[in-house]
Structure 1
Amino acid sequence: MPTHEWTMAGDDYGSRSRPRRKTFMVLAVALPVLLGLLVVLYLVGGLDGTTRSLGPKNYSAHVECQVNSAGSQGTVTVSGTITGDATRYSVTVEVLDAASHQRIGLQTFEVRGTNAFEGTTAAQAPIGPSGIECKITKVA
């Protein structure tokens, strides 16, 4: 009687590797990883030729404010400069009443491609006789 041996060597009926399934699995894993890497590079600025660090930025900033008031209403003109190691900044300026230190205005400037920013914001409370103070409260 014949004997039956079960081997996979040279057997047309045994299980074979499926190259299409392996290729699909490699693409299914590699494609999202590649897209994730591109998103991270874009967010840190690596794709537009500028590399930004994820940590704090080094900068030097100066801001000045001038108030124009009529009665209990007024506007504040904010102007300033910022220089540093980044190509873009988000600068938040707070306007305070000098006597009470109450916030009367707040404005955020997006500074890109230049180092100057300027704008006008409405004063939200009556401005006291001692004037106003401006300060940069956040740089991102």
Structure 2
Amino acid sequence: MANERYGSGPRPRRKTYMIIALGLPGLLGLLAVLYMVGGPGGSAPTLGAKNYSVNVDCRVNTSGSQGTVTISGTITGDASRYSVTVEVLDAASQQRIGLQTFEVRGTTTFGGTSAAQAPIGPAGIECKIAKVA
């Protein structure tokens, strides 16, 4: 009777080994996916990313309550086509008075004339690139 034990014997460690055996490859797979999509420590290229340099100039011509803005600009970069949106603002109030999008393909220049809301304040106008895609 001295060698009898109370309760069940030690548990087999099969479950622990099974969890480790299945969990470790799953964790490694998750880290690989995060790396490929740009998660922590990873860097994946983004679709549609373009490097560019753009300059724009605008001139306004008003007559009474009617106005036009002549926009001219250049864009250089690593893509063969761009969509450039130019926003025209009243310099004093920073209120939008015009907006135009240009499709630039096979060239580095863009430009055109757009209607503008008048009257223009005494500080003139300001052009800025709102979006490049």
Alignment-mate amino acid for residue 83 of structure 2: S
Counterpart of 1:91 (choices 61, 84, 88) is 84
Letter in 2 for 1:112: R
Tell me if structure 1 keeps the 8 A contact 2:70–2:112: yes
Aligned to 1:75: 68
Aligned equivalents of 2:118, 2:65: Cα separation in 1:
7
- Asked if residue 116 in structure 1 is aligned to residue 109 in structure 2, the reply is yes
Pick one of 44, 57, 61 that aligns with 2:50. 57
Contact 1:73 1:123 in 2 (8 A): yes
Name the % identity: 81
Over residues 54-73 of structure 1, what are the superposed CA-to-partner deviations in whole Å (9 max), with x where a residue is unaligned? 14210000000000011221
Q: Do the aligned residues in 1 keep the contact of 2:62 with 2:118 (CA within 8 Å)?
A: no
Provide the residue aligned with 2:124 in structure 1: 131
Aligned length: 88
CA contact (8 A) 2:102 2:110 kept: yes
How far off is 1:129 after superposition?
A: 1.1
Distance in 1 separating the partners of 2:78 and 2:47: 12
Residue in 2 aligned with 1:101? 94
Distance 1:127 1:56 in 2: 36
Distance 1:97 1:138 in 2: 18
Runs of 4+ in 1 over 3 A off after TM superposition: none
Shift of 1:125: 3.4
Give me the TM-score of the superposition, normalised by structure 2: 0.64
Instruction: Give the root-mean-square deviation of aligned CA atoms.
Output: 1.1
